[in-house]
Each structure stands twice: as structure tokens, then as C-alpha cells.
Amino acid sequence: MNDLVKRTAQLIIESNSIAVLSGAGMSTNAGIPDFRGPNGIYKKAEIDNPEKIFDIDYFYKDPSLFYKFHKKFLNYITQAEPTFTHKFLVQLEIDGKLKGIVTQNIDSLHQKAGSKKVYEIHGGCWKNHCIKCQKEYSQQEIYQKIEIEEIPKCDKCGEVIKPDLVFFGEPVKYLTESENLMKHSDLVLVLGSSLAVVPAAMLPSLTKGKVIVVNKGEVSNWYLTEEKLAFIVNEELDTFFKEVADEYNKLKKK
């Protein structure tokens, strides 16, 4: 067995307060394409000026560009199912090990898997609100509206509905809660994140314990000291955590 599998399982067993930072790798592993790649959602939605999609000023000026993207994105996340790794995190939460998840993703797959404490620092699509009267709409309601309306409008006042996503020009969400979660953790699992985007990339360094990074590809670990970084695993998430879960469950029985 891979030595890193054993070490990860052992650190999980020894920990009482695990925090998770999850990134795009968790989503692509669930079959949701990335945004910018050659087969990404921007390409599939035939969007020529993607830099304006999440620009908050442009959204208020012309929300049709965003909803051209969002219609395609909702098709993917509505059909996507949580991965093994999503479900393993639920097990760790039930076992009392995992105290919370900070995610950079906007697909709500952690909640769909059953995780209870999830901080979506870039927001999510689970909830949507009218920009005028603040009437709330679910993801399913927007999914239905978007099939018949180019731009979904509020049933109450007729204004544009905006998903609770963080656009460029808006502050990230739950930063204080995320910082407190990391500060009180004795182990941080960074899953599917290259640690390239701040402020999320800085959060794992706040732990009093160790950090394990599992990401297929390069990792920018500028904010992690050698003392805090246990190791980096360059492997596909589900492949790695199926082995970790087996070893963890064996150690639990001892």
C-alpha cells in the first residue's frame, strides 16, 4: 500500500478537529467541466468574453451574458452526483472528526452529499434572490425559469434574480467563520485545490496542526511552512481516498 495512504489515514485517526478546503478538482472529478479549458463551459456555451461573466457591474448592466453561461452550468450541476471523496467527508463528519468544509466551488455538491457545515466562500447556486425585493428562489426554481426565460425575473416585482454567487467586485463570504474553523483545526485536508487563489490559499496556514494537499497537478504552497505541510499527493482524489477510507476503517476497529 502507498505509504502516503497509511500516513493520511493515521493522521485522520489521530485528529479530533479536521478542516477541509476544497477546490475545482472536486467538481471536475464529479463530471463538471472546468470553466476555461478547451472543453470547458465557456467554450460549450459559446461565450467570447468570459471576463465579463462574473463582473458585478456588467451583470447589473446586462445579465444575459451571465445567464447564457449559467444555463449551461446548471445543466451540469443538476445532473452531477457527489463523488466518493464527497461521501467520505460526510463519514468523517458523522464520526465527529470533520468539523467543517470551506469550499471554493459553487456547485453545492458537498451539501448534496450530506455535509452539514459547509462555507461556500465564493457563494453557491443553492439559493437565489431578487436584486430588488430579495424574494428567495431555489436552484430548482431557477433551473425551471431559465428554460422559458432568457433572464429569470422575480414573480413578485419583475426584477432580475441573482444567484448567491460572489462576483468580481463583491467580498467573499464566511471569511471569519472559515478562519476560525482553520485556527481550531488539528489537521487540514486541501482537496482539489492548487492553492493559487487568495484568500482561500492562505486559510490552511492558520491551522495549529498539519496540512495534507491532494491535488492532481501543480500546487502553489507559498503560504505553508515546511513545519505545517505534511505532504502533497499528486493523485486523483477518488483513487487516493478509496484506499485511505479502507485503511481508516481498519484502524477504527483496532
- Determine which of 27-31, 120-124, 239-243 has the lowest per-residue pLDDT on average: 27-31
Question: Which single residue is written with the C-alpha cell 451571465?
Answer: 66
Q: With 90 as the cut, is the pLDDT of residue 198 above it?
A: no
- Determine which of 17-21, 71-75, 130-134, 187-191 has the lowest per-residue pLDDT on average: 71-75
**Per-residue pLDDT, 32:** 86
Q: With 80 as the cut, is the pLDDT of residue 24 above it?
A: yes
Examine residue 171 and say whether the peptide bond preceding it is cis (omega within 30 degrees of 0).
Answer: no
Does domain 3-30+82-122+172-253 sit in CATH 3.30.70.930? Answer: no
* pLDDT per position as a tens digit, 79-109: 899 999 999 999 999 999 999 999 999 999 9
pTM metric for this prediction: 0.90
Domain boundaries for CATH 3.40.50.1220 within the chain: 3-30+82-122+172-253
Domain boundaries for CATH 3.30.1600.10 within the chain: 41-79+126-165
What grid cell was written down for 156?
413578485
Residue positions annotated with a catalytic role: 122
What is the rounded average pLDDT for all residues in the chain?
Answer: 91
Sequence letter at residue 238: D
Fold of 41-79+126-165: SIR2/SIRT2 'Small Domain' (3.30.1600)
